[in-house]
Structure 1
Amino acid sequence: MLCLVTGATGYIGGRLVPRLLADGHRVRCLVRDPDKLRDVPWADQIEVVRGDVLDPSSMRAACHGVDVLYYLVHSMSGTGFAERDRRGASETSRVAAEAGVSRIVYLGGLHPTDRSELSEHLGSRVEVGDIFLSGPVPAVVLQAAVVLGSGSASFEMLRYLTERLPVMVTPRWVRNRVQPIAIRDLLHYLVRAAEIPDSLNRTFDIGGPEVLTYEQMMRRYAVVAGLPRRVMLPVSVLSPRLSSHWINIVTPVPKSIGAPLIDSLVHEAVCTEHDIDDYVAAPEQGLLSYEQAVRLALARVRNGQVDTRWSDASGNTPSDPLPSDPRWAGGSAYRDVRVRRTSAAPETVWRVIESIGGRNGWYSMPLAWAARGWVDRLAGGVGLRRGRRDAHELRTGDALDWWRVEQLDDGRLLRLRAEMKLPGRAWLELGVRPDTGSGSVYRQRAVFVPRGLSGHLYWWAVAPFHGAVFGGMARNIVREAEQSTGRHRPAEGSSGTHGAG
């Protein structure tokens, strides 16, 4: 069976594709930027089509010969997102019918029966499901609540709130009932939905085996994580909007994502039926309990085995190019370039470059980076706390603190695009090449394209700090590579070989 996956660079899509492959399906992915799938482990097993659900021509090419279409696209922020979602679903339904697609599978959210109570975000998700159900291609709309899995936005929000706040003031919505589901079980239902008879056209509520309040979820998380008992002080005056600001400060999840998550928790999110059991057998080992799901997610976080993260999906256009020529870019481009020679080998310097950010930091003025991150968070940006998906390896498209990996030439160049709040666009390049004779040359380039007068003023306001920030970064990266060379150099007289113990 040929499956088309839209949203393959997102949290759910990036985990669904390898499971479809393991189940024997052929997979085609529709993505705006194919480079974002270049470094995934399953890249050579899929077909990639460049395009967008809003572009009928690319959708026609992507849908050719497809049996099942997985629609995992949903806007989380930005003006007019509901209209974009509406158009995307309508175009997809129409083109899928023209191409002879047999089934559409869409992942929506659990919601109350009274739709007048829905937030704009949850209402948009429900509307997309309705568009597919009323369209010419039979659809299976799976409706889920909180997803428990390493790297999911819901899990990260739960985790950081519980770990960082031993005493917390809790608004009304934390006492609403929720039926969370483990990411493993959600993926099981998504994969098996491809086998549901084509004649079926309906929604299915899916959830784990337990119904809990969000307060109970936090308390039970603390037990699993080995934390002291959390003290919760209930109040009735905190609105979802205020809660989203608080989550923006306390957790890595920015307000643009936290607000829709809270909006979905304002209402109880509990399955009203579990008819999916009539068509899809439960996972072989049964549905994971809440504690099992949390324990598994924490283990994967601690072991660095997070396959995808909520931050994998970018709200910006992933293919924005680096303006290497100001005239070509249509305006001014400011640059800060640093070049340093080092005795360290290129591969040693590259290891330092590729492990930058996250817990490893940025090799210069950590307080200044932290302060800038807090300013960005207060302005509604992503800040520094997104961290890294993996402590040592990067992929094109990875989120890296407030940057996005735009280009990754292994062993040679790392190009990052800023996703912080700025009056312009910014990039940071870190590269290394062999030097003549021995050693290597480290080259670092920061580029800023201002937007209006405020952009020019911003650059000149921060320019006095570039010597300490960017200069210190270049010096310290080279120093770390040289010290790493010393730490790994075999002792005099040693053969340089080691046993496997």
Structure 2
Amino acid sequence: MRCVVFGATGYLGGRLVPELLRAGHTVRVLARTPGKLADTPWHDRVEIVRGDVTVADEVRAALQDQEVLYYLVHSLTRSDFDTVDRDAATIVAREAASAGLDRIVYLGGIAPAGQELSRHLSSRAEVGRILLGGTVPALVFQAAVVIGSGSASFEMLRYLTERLPAMVTPRWVRARIQPIAVRDVLYYLTRAAELPPAVRGAFDIGGPDVLTYEQMMRVYAEVAGLPRRVIVPVPVLTPWLSAQWVNLVTPVPRAIAVPLMESLVNDVVCGEHEIAAHIPDPGEGLTGVRRAVELALTRIRDLDVPTRWSDAGPAPADPLPTDPEWSGGSLYQDVRERPTTADPAALWTVIEAIGGENGWYSFPLAWSLRGWLDRLAGGAGLRRGRRDPHRLHEGEALDWWRVERIERPALLRLRAEMRVPGRAWLELEARPGNDGAGAIYRQRAVFEPHGLAGHLYWKSIAPFHALIFGGMTRNITGAAETAAGSLGGGPTRTGPWGRLHRPGRTSR
């Protein structure tokens, strides 16, 4: 099928495109800013058209010669989002009819009967009605919270649970919800392309579990390995006040938090499962909440995802370059780069020799003190050293680190085994210099905080990063330049804290 996706730079659209490609469909995408798609792993396999859903001529051009339209656009960040979405849906329904499309597929929200809907849910329901009212057969999926890294509703829950061991919350934490994993949403969306025209209408989709927001927070805490959260519902906090609080505690923008929080007062549970008559449940069954949360935590639990997501194409729960910066959970980083006149081989020699007797090239007293503190806390400290002064192997211990990955002669990744309230990694890279001259040293310290203590730990040591990590950057490149240019007369090796000496001589 020839499919066109409106909203490919958004959360679901960016994940749907590769699923459609895997299913054998051809894909065109409409984007107001095509440059946002430049780093996606599929950008060279689709046709990218610049356009805006509120401009009829641009919508008409994007729909030309297409069969199926996926409409995944929402203007939540605008104060007048309901007006904008209403006008856009009207234009799209009209132009889809003129273009002779076979089908429109839209994802909206569950609109519980007999309840006063929030402005957000009302707008989603209105867009669905506009598309269903057109002449093109429309399929409107209605879902509650989508669980996946990057989903705004899930990100709010993630940050609140991670950062607050105790919460005073509005009564909405007792509202019932039927969340759905992002991979199941994509399953339904992808298979909708080939349904016959007679299948049209609105269908609720949800996972197998019905629970409250409070229970969801507790499940998240268990899966993330956090202590049991204390949650105290009170009647005085309105959704609007809650949104201001969320804006302070989490990085989710206020413009998104306010309408979403206003929607939490509604019970959003599937009223039917009639979609199963047209799209059967996945062979392995729909994904439960616990498993969906585990998949959503992949970004942090597999450090390869944010650093090398393009190698094999991301899974639905993985982050994408098009996701907002606040999505994906807390992952603090200190990244530094420095050019050096040494060639990449000389730089790599210094990198692979780091640690043990050769030291860590920065503020030895601080490293030594941190090692002793770690030993007092029952950790590894610096006493483990290294087995070989020049060569490392994946899986071996290196002081309080573990060698997690080596891509010789370019990348060394270490995973910390010190006692910290979270998990930490240190990456050291040697890259060819610009125009083939010299090399570029790149250093990245990554920390995944574990609860509130983890956030406080990172913030407490942040003032020392310039001294410790900045010193490492300068001294490692300096050692590489010295090794490459100023020492002769035989092999050299790095001595403690980055000094260089020849075998048989004592470093001082």
For the superposition of Structure 1 and Structure 2, which TM-score range results when normalised by the shorter chain?
Answer: 0.5 to 0.7
Where does the alignment leave 5 or more consecutive residues of structure 1 unmatched? Answer: 316-339, 350-410, 413-431, 441-471, 496-501
Aligned twin of 2:373: none
Evaluate the alpha carbon distance shift between residue 484 and residue 147 of structure 1 in structure 2; reply closer, same or farther with a 3 A threshold.
farther
**Alignment partner, residue 302 of structure 1:** 301
Return the offset for 1:35: 1.5
Q: 1:236 to 1:95 in 2, by over 3 A?
A: same
CA RMSD of aligned residues (A): 3.7
| In structure 2, C-alpha distance between the alignment counterparts of 1:162 and 1:221, rounded to whole Å | 7
- 1:254-293 correspondence runs (5 A): 254-293=253-292
Distance 1:40 1:487, change over 3 A: farther
Aligned equivalent of 1:172: 171
- Tell me by how many angstroms 1:154 deviates: 2.0
Q: Distance in 1 between matches of 2:225 and 2:90?
A: 48
| Aligned equivalent of 1:21 | 21
In structure 2, do the counterparts of structure 1 residues 483 and 194 end up closer, same or farther at CA, with 3 Å as the change threshold? same
Deviation, structure 1 residue 126 = 0.9
Matches within 5 A, 1:408-423: none
Structure 2 match to 1:84: 84
Q: Secondary structure at the match of 1:108?
A: strand
Per the alignment, residue 161 of structure 1 pairs with 160
Cα deviations by residue, 1:215-264 (Å, 9 ceiling, x for unpaired)? 01111211222221111112111010111111112122121111222122
Equivalent residues in 2 for 1:152-231, closer than 5 Å: 152-231=151-230
Aligned counterpart, 1:398? none
- 2:29 touches 2:48 (CA, 8 Å); kept in 1? yes
Correspondence for 2:504:
none
Deviates more, 1:485-494 or 1:206-215: 485-494
| Matches of 2:340 and 2:321, distance apart in 1 | 34
What's the offset of the Cα at 1:158?
Answer: 1.4
Residue type of the alignment partner of 2:227? P
| Distance in 2, Cα, partners of 1:265 & 1:348 | 57
What TM-score results when the alignment is normalised by the length of structure 1? 0.65
Partners of 1:310 and 1:243 in 2: how far apart? Answer: 29
Secondary structure, aligned partner of 1:208: coil
Shift of residue 69, structure 1, vs aligned partner: 0.1
CA gap of 1:26–1:215, structure 2 versus 1, over 3 A, is same
Identity of aligned residues (%): 53
Moved more, 1-10 or 302-311: 302-311
CA contact (8 A) 2:162 2:226 kept: yes
Letter in 2 for 1:112: P
CA contact (8 A) 1:145 1:179 kept: yes
Shift of 1:283: 1.2
**Shift in Å, 1:167:** 1.2
Which SS does the other structure have where 2:240 is aligned?
helix
Match of 1:407 in 2: none
Shift of 1:10: 0.8
Take 2:237 and 2:212, find their aligned partners in 1: how far apart are those partners?
A: 17
> Aligned in 2, Cα 1:224/1:485: closer, same or farther, shift over 3 Å?
farther
| Counterparts in 2 of 1:170 and 1:199: CA distance versus 1, 3 Å | same
Q: CA deviation at 1:135?
A: 0.8
| Separation in structure 1 between the aligned mates of residue 284 and residue 346 of structure 2, nearest angstrom | 44
Change (3 A) 1:227 1:80: closer
**Aligned in 2, Cα 1:79/1:250: closer, same or farther, shift over 3 Å?**
closer
Separation of aligned partners in 2, 1:190 and 1:485: 54
Asked if 1:6 is matched to 2:6, the reply is yes
Map of 1:391 onto structure 2: none
Query: Aligned letter for 1:480?
Result: T
Contact 1:108–1:143 (CA under 8 A) maintained in structure 2: yes
Question: In structure 2, what is the equivalent of residue 150 of structure 1?
Answer: 149
Q: CA deviation at 1:163?
A: 1.6
Aligned letter for 1:111?
A: A
Greater Cα shift, 168-177 or 149-158: 149-158
Report how many aligned residue pairs link the two structures: 362
5+ residue gaps in structure 2?
Answer: 307-313, 326-337, 348-430, 441-464, 494-508
- 1:445 is aligned to none
Q: How does 1:337-486 map to 2 (within 5 A)?
A: 343=341, 480=473, 483=476, 486=479
Q: CA deviation at 1:151?
A: 2.5
Whole-angstrom CA distance in 1 between matches of 2:134 and 2:191: 22
Q: Distance in 1 between matches of 2:471 and 2:33?
A: 32
After superposition, the C-alpha distances for 1:388-415 in whole angstroms (9 at most, x for unaligned) are: xxxxxxxxxxxxxxxxxxxxxxx99xxx
Alpha-carbon distance in structure 1 between the residues aligned to 2:345 and 2:47 = 32
Distance 2:302 2:3 in 1: 31
- Seen in structure 2, the aligned counterparts of structure 1 residues 314 and 287 have a Cα distance that, compared at 3 Å, is closer
Aligned to 1:468: none
2:53, 2:88 within 8 Å by CA — same for their partners in 1? yes
Structure-2 residue corresponding to 1:48 = 48
Contact 1:162 1:222 in 2 (8 A): yes
- Give the CA deviation at 1:187: 0.6
Q: Output the TM-score relative to the length of structure 2.
A: 0.64
How far 1:120 sits from its partner (Å)? 1.9
Match of 1:242 in 2: 241
Contact 2:40/2:321 (<8 A) preserved: no
User: Could you tell which deviates more after superposition, 196-205 or 100-109?
Assistant: 196-205
Which amino acid counterpart does residue 98 of structure 1 have in structure 2? S
Indicate if the aligned counterparts of 2:36 and 2:322 stay in contact, CA closer than 8 A.
no
Cα distance between partner residues in 2 of 1:7 and 1:485? 48
C-alpha distance 484-235 of structure 1, shift in aligned 2 (>3 A): farther
Which secondary structure state, in structure 2, belongs to the residue aligned with residue 53 of structure 1?
Answer: coil
Would the alpha carbon gap of residues 74 and 344 (structure 1) be closer, same or farther in structure 2, given more than 3 Å must change?
A: farther
Is structure 2 residue 61 aligned with structure 1 residue 68?
no
Map of 1:32 onto structure 2: 32
Residues in 1 aligned to 2:13 and 2:273: alpha-carbon distance in whole angstroms: 23
Q: Offset of 1:142 from its aligned partner?
A: 0.3
Residues 401-448 of structure 1 show CA distances to partners (whole Å, capped at 9, x for unaligned) of xxxxxxxxxx99xxxxxxxxxxxxxxxxxxx9559x7578xxxxxxxx
Partner-residue secondary structure (3-state), 2:66: coil
Measure, in 2, the Cα distance between the counterparts of 1:343 and 1:164. Answer: 44
- CA contact under 8 A between 1:342 and 1:482: conserved in structure 2? no
Q: Is the 8 A contact 1:122 1:263 kept in 2?
A: no
